[in-house]
Amino acid sequence: MSLRVKERKGVDFFDGLFMEVCSPFQKGASYVIKKVKGVFQEYFFLVHLHRENERLKKRMADLQRENDQMKEMVLAQERLRKLLEFRETLSSTVIAAEVVGRDPSSWFKSVTINKGEKDGIRKGMAVISPEGVIGQILKTAPSHAVVLLATDYNSAIDSIIQRTRAKAIVEGGGENRCQLKYLLRAEDVVVGDRVVTSGLSGYFPKGLMIGEIRKVDKKGHGIFQYAELVPSVDFTRLEEVLIIKEITKELSSQPTEEKGKKGRKGK
C-alpha cells in the first residue's frame, strides 16, 4: 500500500473530477445531517436538561428543608442547653415543659403547657425561664396546664427594686408590659432599675428577674408612685418554660441576685 502511494505522482483526472463534483453534495448533505442531528441532539439535550433541572430543583428543596430542620434543631438545642444550665442553678424540683398553645382571646394573657397534674404540677406554681419570670400556673389538667402570664391583668407578683430594695407589687399591664403598684412615693426609683422577685410569695425564689423600669410617674397625689416596666421575657416567643415545684435552695448563680446577702425567704 505504501509502495503504491509512493509511486503515485498526483491525482487522476477523473478521480479529481468526481471528487470535485461530489464534494459539494457531500458537503451539503453532511451540513443537513449535521443540522438535523444538532436539532435532535439539542431537543434531547433540552428534554434531559429539563428533567435534570427538575431533579436538581427537587434536590435543592430537599436540602433546603434539611438545612432548615437542622437550623431549627441547633436553635432548639441552644435553647434547651440554656434551660438545662439554668435548671441546674435552681434545684432538682424543677420541671421543664413546652408551650403548646396560647390564649384564644385578646383580653387575657396565658399559655398552655404540656405538663399537668400527672407530672406534679399544681395551681399557683411559679413558671420561669432563663430570662426571668413568666407567670404562675392558673389551671391544671392531668397532662396539661394553663399558665397565667405576668402581663395579664389578673397577675400580681411580689417584687423588689434590685438597687434600692424598695418593695412593690408587679401587676400585668396587658400588651407586653407590667406596672408597679404600692411603690412608696418616697422610694428612689429611676428608669432602668431592675425589678426582681422578693421571694415572699412562697412560689417564686428570691432574685428572679422580672423586668426593667421604663417609666416613672410621680405626678398626682397619694403615698404611692406609679412605674411601668418592660418584662425581661419576650412573651410572644415563649417555647419552653420551667415550673418550680418546690423551692429547695437559693439561686446561687443568678446574676440578678445579691449573693450571700439574705437567706431564702420563699415559704
Partner 1 sequence: MRRTFIPLFLGILFLILQTTLFASFPIQRVKPDLVLIFTLFLGLSFSPLSGGILVFFLGYVIDLFSGNSFGLYAFSRPLLFFSAQLFKDRIYLESYFLRSLFVFLFTLGEGIVILILIKAFHPEPLQPPYPLFFTGFLPQAFSTALLAPVLFSIFKKGYSLLYAQPGTGLGVRGKT
Using CB under 8 A, list all residues that contact partner 1: 100-110, 112, 138-139, 146, 148-149, 152-154, 171, 173-175, 179, 236
Q: State the nearest-atom distance from the C-beta of 243 to partner 1, in Å.
A: 16
How far, in Å, CA of 208 to CA of 159, rounded? 9
- In the complex, what is the shortest distance from the CB of residue 146 to partner 1, in angstroms, rounded to a whole number? 7
Least Å distance, CB 79 to partner 1, is 16
Between CA 133 and CA 256 the distance in angstroms is 12
Nearer to partner 1, 112 or 225 (CB): 112
Query: Quick one: three-class SS letters along 127-185?
Result: EEECCEEEEEEEEECCCCEEEEECCCCCCEEEEEECCCCCEEEEEECCCCCEEEEEEEC
Q: Is the Cβ of residue 149 or residue 229 nearer to partner 1 in the bound state?
A: 149
Work out how close the CB of 173 gets to partner 1 at its nearest, in angstroms, rounded to a whole number. Answer: 7
Nearer to partner 1, 117 or 256 (CB): 117
Nearer to partner 1, 154 or 164 (CB): 154
- Burial class from Cβ neighbours inside 10 Å (0-12, 13-18, 19+) for residue 181 reads middle
The least CB distance from residue 234 to partner 1, in Å, is: 11
CB atoms within 10 A of CB 108: 17
Nearer to partner 1 by Cβ, of 172 and 205: the residue is 172
Nearest-angstrom CA–CA distance, 196 and 207: 5
Alpha carbons 8 and 175: distance in angstroms, whole number: 104
